[in-house]
């Protein structure tokens, strides 16, 4: 199941189980970069189902899907939405304005630990040592995973003085990270960029993968998939419920089995120290793009 769907399920069931008052929760999510991006009917059906589920639990939820973070943030700023999920480059570029209108920043990780680590893997036969070896080669990654692309692109700028797209022969976008790994395994690609957890799971299930492929570069373990933000004027009870449940999801009556099934590891609040880490990381990335454009 797509991470977006898992997140929506957790939000709906958490808030509807604990909501004691009649208030409206208005949430906005990106439709692009997810399995929903190509299926308008799926978005409509999901929206109706979620809103009906909330209604059945004596509360009201309004769900909106937007194609861009810019559109989402505009809706939040105009008080049309209470909470939105943004991609990280947009957040960093617009953080000065976002800090004026929003607070209570958060993120979520599924399957992985709290933070994600990315790997660059390669065929052992290439004897590759790092990003300098991706020149004129093919690289596979999961479609819509902006975090892994930014990490690879940033390293390409640092090492090769040019973008990932320009130095490689081809970037192959796959539906799943496991497909990206298999692309390399079956000689359809030279490299892949994946999460550490994906590598660990696949090599455990199929040890022959590590006989043919190897990890040649690792990111720091400090990445998140997106950032969620609440408008400063959002009902404080909604925010309090959200963060209270985020600390004890597996102990909430009625959803503990769903949390285990969906492999939700953590919904966590982002503090000022981590915001500084994000700012430094992406500011460096934007500077490299500007320098070598």
74 backbone dihedrals φ, ψ, rounded to 5°: -60, -40
Q: What is the CA radius of gyration of the chain?
A: 20
Tokens of 67: 């194609």
Per-residue pLDDT band for 108 (boundaries 50, 70, 90) equals confident
Per-residue pLDDT band for 187 (boundaries 50, 70, 90) equals very high
Average pLDDT rounded to a whole number, residues 124-149: 95
Average pLDDT rounded to a whole number, residues 131-141: 98
Tokens of 39: 């299926």
Residue that wins the pLDDT comparison between 282 and 245: 282
Per-residue pLDDT band for 183 (boundaries 50, 70, 90) equals very high
Tokens of 220: 């720091």
Q: Which domains does the chain have, with CATH numbers?
A: 3-113+224-288 (3.40.190.10), 118-222 (3.40.190.10)
Q: Is the pLDDT of residue 114 over 60?
A: yes
DSSP state of 251: G
What are the CA-CA distances from residue 253 to residues 7, 237, 258 (Å)? 18, 19, 10
Per-residue pLDDT band for 262 (boundaries 50, 70, 90) equals very low
CA 159, CA 150: separation in Å to the nearest integer? 14
Beta 102-110 vs 227-231: how paired, if at all?
Answer: antiparallel
Residue whose tokens read 């999510």: 29
Tokens of 129: 């040592």
Give pLDDT tens digits for 37-82: 433 444 454 455 455 555 555 556 677 888 889 999 999 999 999 9
Which region among 97-101, 162-166, 256-260 has the lowest average model confidence (pLDDT)?
256-260
In order, the DSSP letters of 121-166 are EEEGGGT--SGGGGTT-EEEEETT-HHHHHHHHHHHHHHHSS-HHH
CA 98, CA 96: separation in Å to the nearest integer? 6
Tokens of 58: 């004596």
Residue 61 CA neighbour count, 13 Å, CB half: 28
Q: Is the pLDDT of residue 6 over 80?
A: no
Average pLDDT rounded to a whole number, residues 128-146: 94
CA 149, CA 292: separation in Å to the nearest integer? 17
| Contact assessment for residue 78 and residue 52, using Cβ atoms and an 8 Å cutoff | no
Give the residues across from 60 on adjacent strands: 24
Per-residue pLDDT band for 28 (boundaries 50, 70, 90) equals confident
CA 115, CA 174: separation in Å to the nearest integer? 23
How many C-beta neighbours within 10 Å does residue 88 have?
Answer: 21
pTM for the full predicted model: 0.82
Tokens of 252: 């909430």
pLDDT of residue 40: 47
Per-residue pLDDT band for 20 (boundaries 50, 70, 90) equals low
Average pLDDT rounded to a whole number, residues 108-127: 85
pLDDT of residue 39: 39
Give pLDDT tens digits for 206-224: 999 999 999 999 999 999 8
Q: What is the mean pLDDT of the chain?
A: 82
Per-residue pLDDT band for 26 (boundaries 50, 70, 90) equals confident
175 backbone dihedrals φ, ψ, rounded to 5°: -70, -30
Beta 24-30 vs 60-66: how paired, if at all?
Answer: parallel
């Amino acid at each position: 199941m797509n991470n977006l769907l898992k997140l929506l399920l957790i939000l709906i069931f958490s808030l509807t189980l604990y909501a004691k008052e009649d208030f409206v929760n208005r949430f906005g999510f990106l439709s692009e970069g997810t399995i929903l991006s190509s299926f308008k009917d799926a978005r409509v059906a999901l929206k109706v189902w979620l809103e009906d589920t909330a209604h059945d639990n004596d509360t009201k939820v309004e769900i909106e899907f937007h194609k861009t973070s810019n559109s989402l943030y505009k809706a939040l700023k105009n008080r049309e939405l209470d909470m939105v999920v943004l991609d990280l480059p947009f957040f960093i570029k617009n953080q000065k304005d976002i800090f004026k209108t929003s607070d209570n920043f958060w993120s979520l990780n599924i399957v992985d630990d709290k933070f994600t680590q990315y790997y660059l893997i390669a065929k052992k036969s290439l004897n590759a040592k790092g990003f300098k070896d991706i020149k004129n080669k093919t690289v596979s990654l999961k479609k819509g995973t902006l975090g892994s692309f930014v990490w690879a692109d940033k390293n390409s700028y640092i090492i090769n003085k040019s973008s990932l797209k320009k130095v490689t022969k081809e970037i192959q976008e796959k539906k799943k990270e496991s497909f990206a790994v298999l692309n390399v395994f079956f000689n359809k690609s030279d490299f892949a960029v994946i999460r550490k957890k994906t590598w660990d799971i696949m090599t455990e299930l199929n040890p022959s993968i590590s006989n043919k492929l190897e990890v040649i570069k690792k990111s720091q373990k400090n990445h998140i998939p997106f950032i969620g933000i609440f408008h400063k004027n959002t009902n404080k009870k909604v925010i309090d419920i959200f963060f209270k449940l985020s600390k004890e999801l597996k102990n909430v009556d009625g959803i503990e089995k769903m949390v285990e099934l969906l492999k939700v590891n953590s919904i966590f609040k982002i503090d000022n120290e981590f915001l500084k880490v994000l700012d430094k990381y992406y500011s460096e990335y934007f500077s490299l793009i500007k320098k070598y454009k």
